[in-house]
Amino acid sequence: MKPVNKKISVRVNMAQKSSLSVAGVTFKIANLYEVNHREKEPILGEIVSGNRHIRQGQIGIFHHNNFSPPSPFFVYGDLFSVPFNKTVFGILHPDGNIMPLCGNILCERVEKEYKVYIPPEQREKHLDRVVVTNPGNTPYKVGQLLFTRPYAFYEIVYNIDGKEFRVHKIHEEMVVGMLE
C-alpha cells in the first residue's frame, strides 16, 4: 500500500506496552498497569512507506494518540496510515537518540533559581522555559533558552536494552520568545 495525502505507513506492535522488538532492537516502553496513557500506549513504529524525511525501515516515535484504539489511522492488522505532521516526533536511532521532525524540538526544562539552598529533590523547574538540546529542522540553536506557553513540554519515556531514556520535546508553535 502506498500512502497518500501526506501520510506515512507504519507497522505498530499494539502489545508494546511492556516491551517491543523492532528491527533487531528490543525497546521496553511502559508498565502494563501505568495509568498515564502517554506512557502506556504504543509510541514506536517501523516505517513501511515513508517520505523524503523518514525512510522505510526506520523506527519512528509518535504521539500515542495515533495508535490508541479506536484510531482513525488504523488500516488493518498492525498497519496504520499516519499523517506526517507534528505528531511524528522523530526518528529513533538504535543508540536511543531521537532526530526530531515536523517542527519538534528536543529540550531540557530549566530549573528555578533560589536565593537560599534547596535540596535537589525539592527544586522545581519552570513551566514556561526550556533549553534546546536538538533543534531538528527549526531555526533554533543547541543551548538556546526558549520561552514557551505554560506546560508546552511533553516528556517521552522509553527503554532500549534495559536502559531508560527520558527526553522532553516541544513543538515550535509553542515558542513565544527566545534569548539570542
> Are the beta carbons of 105 and 86 closer than 8 angstroms?
no
Is 66 a domain residue? Answer: yes
Q: At residue 55, what is the residue type?
A: R
Pairwise pLDDT comparison (12 vs 19), residue with the higher score: 12
- Domain extent, residue 25, equals 7-178
> Considering its fold, how many domains does the chain have in total?
1
Phi then psi for 103, rounded to 5 degrees? 85, 5
Q: What is the mean pLDDT of residues 115-137?
A: 96
pLDDT tens across 17-55, in order? 555 556 777 666 555 566 676 666 678 899 999 999 999
Evaluate whether residue 131 is within a structural domain.
yes
Give domain status of residue 2, yes or no: no
Whether residue 27 lies inside any domain: the answer is yes
Cell numbers placing 172: 515550535
Task: For residue 13, give Cα distances in angstroms to 34, 67, 174.
Answer: 18, 10, 31
Q: Considering the entire predicted model, what is its pTM?
A: 0.84
In this predicted model, what pLDDT tens digit does every residue of 51-108 receive, in sequence order?
999 999 999 999 988 988 889 999 999 999 999 999 999 999 988 889 999 999 999 9
Beta bridge partners of 74: 80
User: Is 134 within 8 Å of 105 (Cβ atoms)?
Assistant: yes
